[in-house]
Structure 1
Amino acid sequence: MTKPLIKIDDLSLGFTARDGRQAPILRGVSLELRAGETLGIVGESGSGKSTVALAMMGYLKSGLSVFRGNAFFDGHDMFALPEKERARLRGSSIALIPQNAGQALTPTLKIGQQINEALRLHTELDASARAGRVIELLSRVRLPSPEDMALRYPHELSGGQQQRAAVAMALAGNAKALLLDEPTTGLDVTTQAHILEFLRHLAQEMGVAMIYVSHDLGVIARVADRVAVMYAGQLAEEGLTREVLRAPQHPYTRGLLASIPRLGEPGIPASMPGVPPAVGSELTTCAFADRCDQVRPECRQSVPALLEAPHGRVRCLFSNDPGQPRETTIRDPQIKDAPALTLDQVAISYSKIGWFDRLIGKKDPTPTVERATFGLKKGETLGLVGESGSGKSTILRAIAGLVGTKDGSVTLSDGESLAAPVNGRDRETLRRVQMIFQNADASLNPRQTIGEILAAPLRLYFGLKGDDARKRAEDLLEAVRLPARYLDRFPGQLSGGEKQRVGVARAFAANPEVTLCDEVTSALDVSVQAAALALLTRLQNENGSSYIFVSHDLAVVRAVSDRVAVLYQGRICEIGPSAQVYAPPYHPYTSTLMGAVLEPDPDTAPALLANDMTEKSPPAKGCPFQRRCPRHMGDVCDTEVPPARDLGTGHLIHCHMLPKQLVRSADTSVDQVSNEAAENAMA
């Protein structure tokens, strides 16, 4: 067997507490990685997965130090090397691809200039050779028209293209290993699937070793050869990905898998009870004992060792005990026939032409959103799904009054118009429509306590002050399962899941009729996500609120939605009851979205993906999906607006294909569809 390229041996690191005690973040972790191999590292927030990955580069965050153990890269003891030599290795032989490539790329420099700079620092190439190498790298990461891409600024690329540009920069120094820290978290399902397929080919073709940090077990199932499951700074389980995910031995791994929503299983998955031990706390028992459904007295007597198992290693005394399966919560919404919100032929446009262009007869650009028509009943949840740029969040922002509409109408249950922008709405209208934002960090004032944050809507909408406001704020925290003592904390003292719960509490402080949920679980790990979904459902049942739930995760939308609308380029392709939208026949676009969903099963078939391209604007005529459709039928798709095919019970599919053809399309293999698409293109 070849020597490991990366090896960490009994590594413990952490910080020194105020009382002088060593507070560990990693506790005796040992892992190996060979050239061409991909290791997935998974676990909840605070489990130590990013810390162990960065330690493989010899990198420690400020305030941390090594207590014992070593980290080796290509034979070099990373913590014993001089800082200058460590920095050289990081740039030339091992590279980091961060979670948000858009933030990692310099916005004022063109993509080609940034890659050229990496080449200048980490290679001996002259200027002429570097220019050629830039184009070669952009081609290698499969960016279209690499000469054109080199001249673009980061904001001119899609999220997936930015991520590929970041990979090209990482490869500039002929890296032997890539560290990927949640690189696809913010991407939609099809862009994510294309990126993962590319990374798989990269590892196979170039022999690059990859460490892939993620909370998404579906992603790990797709890319990783082996998986390490982290909990409380320890390895809970490690082994071949297929064996760990198909037959997990540790109850924590089983809990993570049970928390994941599945496309074919309606309802909200059960979340694990409790919370992990505090970072840096001393462990004298099994770290998972307080949350384990099969805990026994022996588990509390000492810290279990990492034992050899048939599939690898596991830290559990009773790994052969499968425990009790957690039950999925089936939603039972109290939906009323009365409408809560109605959109009728809504068009939204960000682009406007000037008076001179209008004078010479230039037409307005194609709207970002066009002909958006749907209703929302009281007590109902409508899911909006689609790729980035499909108009999901734009529609939410229009309802909230954050962007204006060009045409059409948005009205509440009593016919009140929501045409006015947010700063032109009266208090009662503002109260009736509330929004929960994707990024709780950006939407909570870091200088205010949680009590002050919750008091603001209570004072604005109900005039509550002092003790009355604090008592109501305590009730709101209790409703989202947070203790009253959190009222005196600041957002920076809360975890990501706790911040999101505060965001939910703030929205419900107004007692809204319609709540707009914009990617509220996209950055949460699976166990916190399951708890957040259960919370939203419980609050809906108790308050009778109506939700519009935006997400790029189709399995999450399946779990919480009564009806689903599928959008592409701001046009509704399909809308109907969830059970029908998630079963054949599908719109071809819905079918590609379904195929791109990553289940936590390494044996799932490859996804049938739409063409990997970015469209800057919707087509002026015809079907919005015409340029990427694997079932493209020719001129009719290019020139005519697709008719609405009514499949009954409010299930509409906007497509030129007949329902019979749509059913056949859903059952067609990847190769058959590829052949048929090629024949259609030649015709």
Structure 2
Amino acid sequence: MANPPLIDIQGLSIGFLGRSGAMLPVLHAIDLRVCRGESIGIVGESGSGKSTLALAAMGYLKHGLKKISGEVIYNGADMFARSTGELARIRGGQLGLIPQNSGQALTPTLRIGRQLHEALRLHCALPDGGHEARAIDLLTQVRLPDPAVILRRYPHELSGGQQQRVAIAMALAGEPDALLLDEPTTGLDVTTQAHILELLRDLARTRNMAMVYVSHDLGVIARVCDRVQVLYAGETVLEGPVQAVLKTPAHPYARGLLASIPRLGDRSLPRALEGRPPAPGSDRTGCAFAPRCALATDQCRTIRPPMVTGEAGQETRCFYPEQTTRIDMTGSGAPLSCCMADNPAALSLNRVAIRYDRPGALARFLPARPRPPATVDDITLTITQGETLGLVGESGSGKSTILKTIAGLLPPAEGTITLGDGTALTPRVEQRRPEQLRRIQMVFQNPDESLNPRQTVADILGQPLRLYFGLKGAERHQRAAALLETVRLGAHYLDRRPGQLSGGEKQRVAIARAFAATPDIVLCDEITSALDVSVQAAVLELLNDLKARHQTTFIFVSHDLTVVRALSDRVAVLYQGRLCEIGASAAVYAAPSHPYTEVLLNAVLEPDPDHAPRLLAEDATDLSPPARGCPFQRRCPVKCGSICDTDIPPWQKAADGHAIRCHIPLKDLAKTGPA
């Protein structure tokens, strides 16, 4: 490197004390160097040590972890040798952090303005009265509409994408020299993610800022990073330029990760990596990846390979890097289970409307005022047995709201929801009978909000087994262990608590708990957003297998349009709580499509450094739909005139049942739709 590294991690090993009293390493002799103006991506499966490495760069270790050896040099000095006062000045100032969950960076009881002012007071020397102007400038940089209004709001009054932008603004408040990003776009919709990544790329260039980007999304890494470092079981197995690593990876593990990614142009299940990484403290004889590697030989199983220089500037820990091209990267070959159009209905929604605004007790004594439009309105859908329906749309489009209403967590203001046998679902979950509760299960986006931190995994999985089937003792324990195997976790996880699991492991436990009830309908709310690509591929195979064997019906909400493409039979597109397109997956992903669907599809990232998303619409999302006309009228890139402002668009149906709600005729939409 021409410039001296700003972050220079040398031989870093970190571990925790095992039950035997021995130190069990989770990071093994890691080297990482990042210069000013350079962006490096850290990738690998859950539990590979990505987040631990990023936090160690700040001189921070999670509870129970200890540094075994090595140094973390930042700006010429070891972070672990600095005083508490020095670290406080550096963290949030010279060294910024954007966490995966913006809720961890924002205090729910404080307004946004007060939190930004606090960051500015700690890390910036501003004159009296300068904090407000600087806070507005930061929110403008992250492209938030009406910054002065945002400053007066609490975090819960913002969407997930808006909260994440506030977290980015707080990290930038101290004008850092280096920025550590731990999955900052996980859970964001494709358009918001694309705009945020463009913002980060621009900031890195204009400020000559170093970035360390932790992500399991290789499309994100391809878009923002110059180099990639691949971790497996806590050690570096591949490092090199992003072009080389993502196009011609010189390690079988990296090639396996790329094969695990669903692609927008291919409706087939991706190929999941077989097996799972070794547990911390397990035998390190030979290559750690050998038990899962298609190229492994006796040499690989007995001798630990050194890091060697390969083609295109890649450093790889492999004896046979030139043979990695033999590894198949096509789909899994598993037949995708498709529902039959003439299957009986599993669930029906008829003219469902949902409101969050609830008139108070004094409303009847106050002057009448027009109510805002419903959050979700006029949703009519029928989902058949064994079908997977994908619900897609940006944050705030009403996808999760619909799932919560089906689950009984949010009563509808209008309309009815009925099961396939004609039974009307009671609006509130506490009024439903146990059999109705068993038949409909929900998996939430954030497992931290649904797993009891005081319970062991055995307790969490045992509760539905006891409640719905009366299982006890050894039989319940055995069934819980089998459920863990279905989500690629071993029985040794039964004694752990959620706090001892990675984010991906927690989500797998939440999925296993839902399947414990053997439900008829599973509501999936962004269940793969926290999973690495290999586990995601395995979960998609699992969902497909359950659908084939048990005719399980899924309603699958996701911001990842490639995942929806791979798994769904039909796709419904929502904007501002209104359906704008619905049809078979292949039809929705091809022309003609609704202009909003085209905006979403063109913003999808691919794990290819040469691919750039097309941002066809502004990323500002209105708080509520317009009172009249098309909900998408303010952002539509092909708006066709005043009729869009005044008239609700009609439904236009093709012969295959594909329906689009737009004023533009289908024949003209075909000319503007995505390829």
Q: Which residue of 1 aligns with 2:371?
A: 364
Deviation of 1:228 (Å) = 0.8
Indicate if the aligned counterparts of 1:340 and 1:376 stay in contact, CA closer than 8 A.
Answer: yes
- Report the more deviating stretch, 447-456 or 123-132: 447-456
5+ residue gaps, structure 2: none
In 2, the alpha carbon distance for the partners of 1:237 and 1:127 equals 50
Q: Given that residues 457 and 495 in structure 2 are in contact (C-alpha distance below 8 angstroms), is that contact kept between their aligned partners in structure 1?
A: yes
Tell me, yes or no, if the aligned pair for 1:345 and 1:373 is still in contact at 8 Å: yes
Amino acid corresponding to residue 274 of structure 1 in structure 2 = G
Contact kept, 8 Å, 1:11 with 1:70, in 2: the verdict is: yes
The Cα shift of 1:630 comes to 1.4
Question: Matches of residues 360-439 of structure 1 in structure 2 within 5 Å?
Answer: 360-439=367-446
For residue 651 of structure 1, report the CA deviation from its aligned partner.
0.4
In 1, the alpha carbon distance for the partners of 2:133 and 2:465 equals: 61
For 2:504 and 2:103, the matched residues in 1 are separated by: 24
Code of the residue aligned with 1:166 in structure 2: it is A
Number of the residue aligned with 2:672: 665
| Secondary structure, aligned partner of 1:124 | coil
**Shift in Å at residue 499 of structure 1?**
4.3
* CA distance, structure 2, for counterparts of residue 457 and residue 21 of structure 1: 37
Q: How does 1:75-224 map to 2 (within 5 A)?
A: 75-224=76-225
How many angstroms apart in 1 are the aligned matches of 2:122 and 2:33?
29
> In structure 2, do the counterparts of structure 1 residues 624 and 70 end up closer, same or farther at CA, with 3 Å as the change threshold?
same
Q: Does 1:341 align with 2:344?
A: no
Greater CA deviation, 605-614 or 476-485?
476-485
- Taking the aligned partners of 1:92 and 1:369, their CA distance within structure 2 comes to 42
Residues 664/569 of structure 1: CA separation in 2 closer, same or farther (3 Å cut): same
> 1:426 is matched by which residue type in structure 2?
R
State the SS of the aligned residue for 2:81: coil
Alignment pair present for 1:503 and 2:510: yes
Match of 2:328 in 1: 325
Match of 2:628 among 621, 629, 636: 621
Structure 2 residue corresponding to 1:637, chosen from 631, 644, 660: 644
User: Does residue 28 of structure 1 match 2:38?
Assistant: no
Match of 2:560 among 553, 566, 572: 553
Task: Decide whether the 8 Å contact of 1:390 with 1:568 is kept in 2.
Answer: yes
Distance 2:61 2:485 in 1: 38
Shift of 1:376: 0.8
Contact 1:111 1:150 in 2 (8 A): yes
Q: Deviation digits for residues 289-347 of structure 1, max 9, x if unmatched?
A: 11111111111222111111233311111011023305423303353521111111111
CA distance in 1 between counterparts of 2:309 and 2:7 reads 21
Equivalent AA in structure 2 for residue 324 of structure 1: I
| Preserved CA contact (<8 Å) 2:49 2:234 | yes
Matched residues, number: 668
| Matched AA of 2:152 | L
**Once the two structures are superposed, what CA deviation does each residue of 1:535-568 show, in whole Å capped at 9, x if it has no partner?**
1111121111111111111111111110010111
1:597 aligns with 2:599: no
- The answer to whether 1:565 aligns with 2:572 is yes
Q: Secondary structure at the match of 2:199?
A: helix
Contact 2:507 2:530 in 1 (8 A): no
Which secondary structure does the structure 2 equivalent of 1:567 belong to? Answer: strand
Distance 1:54 1:479 in 2: 31
Which is worse superposed, 512-521 or 257-266?
A: 512-521
State the AA in 1 paired with 2:636.
C
When normalised by structure 1's length, the TM-score is: 0.92
| CA shift in 2, pair 1:568/1:48, >3 Å | same
Letter in 2 for 1:372: I
TM-score by length of 2: 0.93
Note if contact 2:337-2:545 (Cα within 8 Å) is conserved in structure 1. Answer: no
Aligned to 1:679: none
CA distance 1:648–1:299, change in 2 (3 Å): same
Change (3 A) 1:2 1:487: closer
1:476 Cα deviation from its structure 2 partner: 4.7
Q: For residues 201-226 of structure 1, what are the alpha-carbon distances to aligned partners after superposition, in whole Å with 9 as ceiling and x for unaligned?
A: 11111111111111111111111111
Letter in 1 for 2:424: S
Residue 227 of structure 1 aligns with which residue? 228
In structure 2, what is the Cα distance between the partners aligned to 1:247 and 1:532?
26
Amino acid of the residue matched to residue 663 of structure 1? A
Deviates more, 1:167-176 or 1:148-157: 148-157
State the distance in 2 between where 1:634 and 1:374 align: 30
Unaligned runs of 5+ in 1: 669-683
Report matched runs for 1:220-299 at 5 Å. Answer: 220-299=221-300
Q: Structure 1 21/282 Cα, relative in aligned 2: closer, same or farther at 3 Å?
A: farther
Q: Which residue of 1 aligns with 2:357?
A: 351
Q: Cα distance, 1:527 vs. partner?
A: 0.8
Deviation, structure 1 residue 380:
1.0
Aligned counterparts of 1:433 and 1:477: Cα–Cα separation in 2: 20
Q: CA deviation at 1:665?
A: 1.5
1:170-200 alpha-carbon deviations (Å, 9 max, x no partner): 2222211111111111211111111111101
Shift of 1:468: 5.7
The 1:503/1:13 distance shift into structure 2, 3 A limit, reads closer
Higher mean Cα deviation, 475-484 or 393-402? 475-484
Equivalent residues in 2 for 1:39-54 (5 A)?
Answer: 39-54=40-55
Give 1:509 shift.
3.6
The correspondence for 1:314, drawn from 307, 313, 316, is 316
Structure 1 residues 114 and 314: CA distance shift in structure 2, 3 A? same
Deviations 1:57-76 (A, max 9, x none): 23233343333332222222
- Residue 78 of structure 1, CA deviation: 2.3
> How far did 1:387 drift?
1.2
Structure 2: which amino acid aligns with 1:340?
A: A
C-alpha contact (below 8 Å) 1:343/1:373 kept by paired residues:
yes
SS in 1 for 2:587: helix
* Deviation (angstroms), 1:25: 2.2
Matches of 1:140 and 1:481, distance apart in 2? 42
**Deviation at 1:405?**
1.4
Change (3 A) 1:472 1:41: closer
Structure 1 residue 348: Cα displacement: 1.1
Question: What is the deviation of 1:481?
Answer: 5.7
SS at structure 1 position matched to 2:42: strand
Contact in 2 for aligned 1:10/1:70 (Cα 8 Å): yes
Shift of 1:87: 2.6
Change (3 A) 1:426 1:112: closer
Alpha-carbon distance, 1:372 to partner: 0.6
Give the 3-state SS of the residue equivalent to 2:253 in structure 1: helix
Matched letter for residue 289 of structure 1: A
Shift of 1:606: 3.0
Percent identity, please.
58
Query: 1:641-656 maps to which residues of 2 (within 5 A)?
Result: 641-656=648-663
Q: Which residue of the other structure, out of 507, 517, 526, is the alignment partner of 1:519? A: 526
Amino acid paired to 2:622: E
Determine the C-alpha separation between the residues in 1 that align with 2:487 and 2:173.
Answer: 47
